[in-house]
A and B are shown apart, each in its own frame.
Chain A
Amino acid sequence: MRETAILPWQRLKTDIQRRLRGRGALPWLVPVLILAIWQIAVQAGWLSTRILPTPWAVVTAGWRLLLSGELLEHLGASTARAASGFVIGGGIGFFFGLINGGYRLAENLFDTTLQMVRNVPHLALIPLVILWFGIGEEGKLFLVALGVFFPVYLNTFHGIRSVPPDLIEMGRSYGLRGWALFRQVILPGALPNILVGVRYALGFTWLTLIVAETISATSGIGYMAMNAREFLQTDIVVLAILLYAALGKAADMVARALERRWLRWNKSFLAA
């Protein structure tokens, strides 16, 4: 009967203590502290609002843009570019990873070429891309697709190669051929590596997009940031930076959710 006697505030206190003792709240302590110091520093005038707005100002700017509909419009434009570039580049990378991983002939034919192209930093192509495509959508898609291509290609290739030959031999001797062998043995065996490639590629997607949108765009988060810069709206610039971070994190979470779903059988992925 003694448990029922515990007062609500006592329960709250033990809850907080437990959270602090476990990992619960502790990792958030430092970020919260930094935000607090930041807010105080700007409010007290130690830091000019030209350099950094207060965190609160960033939040209100976000709210304002959300209400006006601008935020969603730019967010939508950026997400659409990221998604289509990712699908195109990832799709081509996946295709080449599959055929080069699966067939020696294809590897001999394409791999050296692809490895040479890989050594060109894709962002170095920007001047050329602007010459080719102008400042329209195509150039940005091209850059994103190129950035996404290599991580997906390399990891798919490696994944296919690292499927244990014992399992493939077993599959064959149990009557699996062609598509059935690929779908039931090779692809699931390569999947852990492919998903690693997807996660890397998502990182590249946003990185490329940031650069491409700040150089030439009429919509998107990068455009929003550049526009704000012209009018010295540091709050919106910081908001744009944080939005990129949030989008990157969201994409990573999607990839990890896929890993958890598709790699349930693999203990090392369950732990991650």
Chain B
Amino acid sequence: MRLLIIEDEHGIAGFLKDGLEEEYFAVDIAYDGKNGLDLAMTNDYDLIIIDWMIPAISGIEVCRQIRKAGSAVPIMFLTAKDTLEDVLFGLDAGANDYIKKPFAFEELLARIRVQLRNKNQSDDSLSAGPLEINPATHQAFCNSSEMTLTPKEFSLLEYLIRNKDKVCTRSRIIEHVWDIHFDSDTSVIDVYITFLRRKLENAGCGNLIQTIRGVGYIIRES
């Protein structure tokens, strides 16, 4: 899952990136509104966190522009503004959630997961056939037995399961699982897919990840 954080306060941006990367998110940071808007328009993010008071273009305006461009990406506001009017104003501008500074990091994580949850999903766990993963606890189960995955393997598997029954192109996988600092050599995907397949086969869930030649990979429900 790839996130964009638009925050001018380096301290906050710094710990958010550290903490979220430890939670296996790919995190990009923009320190002003203009740069943030550019990134949001050119990349496909799974969630955007915006500070209200940022230089160049205000957080509210960035949010409006993103919505105006027709994107439905979940947007969370992160700000020291705390009056009811501010909250309502922020939500009206098209934000999905609003979290006040100072906040607890765990709360932010939980709220991010809520935003990433599919509409019909009741809890955080995702499944495909005999495979089940829980992004909150970073656990993956195959036929109820737990597998040990590296963070990148887990992120890749999570992305494929979130998009099950859909073909995930190599470029989309790169965009959502790796952050912007990764160069566009997509052969790294093949390496991780090989690792994943081996681990899945050992656990008894072989053949779950299928290759669509020349396009990418897919996980099918059945």
To the question of whether A and B form a pair in one complex, the answer is no
**Interface on A for B, CB 8 Å cutoff?**
none
**Interface on B for A, CB 8 Å cutoff?**
none
